[in-house]
Amino acid sequence: MPDATIIPFQPALPQVLPTIEGNVDYRELRDQLLRIESLLLASGLETQFLEKDLQR
C-alpha cells in the first residue's frame, strides 16, 4: 500500500465561492424561458397583452 499524505491542517477556503446554478435541466429551462421572454419583448406581444389586460 502506498504511503498516504497526511495534511495536519485544513487548507483555507477560497474567498470567492463559485455560484452553483443547479442541474442541467434547470439551466436549460431557464435558458428557454429567457428566450421566450426576449421573443415576446422583441415582437411587442407582451406590450399588446398588457394593454388589453389593462383595458378590461
Between residues 56 and 6, which one has the greater pLDDT? 56
Confidence (pLDDT) at 7: 61
- pTM to 2 decimals? 0.52
For 26-47, the pLDDT digits (tens) are: 888 889 999 999 999 999 998 8
The arithmetic mean of pLDDT across residues 3-29, rounded, is 74
DSSP for 1-56 reads -PPPPP-SSPPPPPSSPPPP---HHHHHHHHHHHHHHHHHHHHTHHHHHHHHHHH-
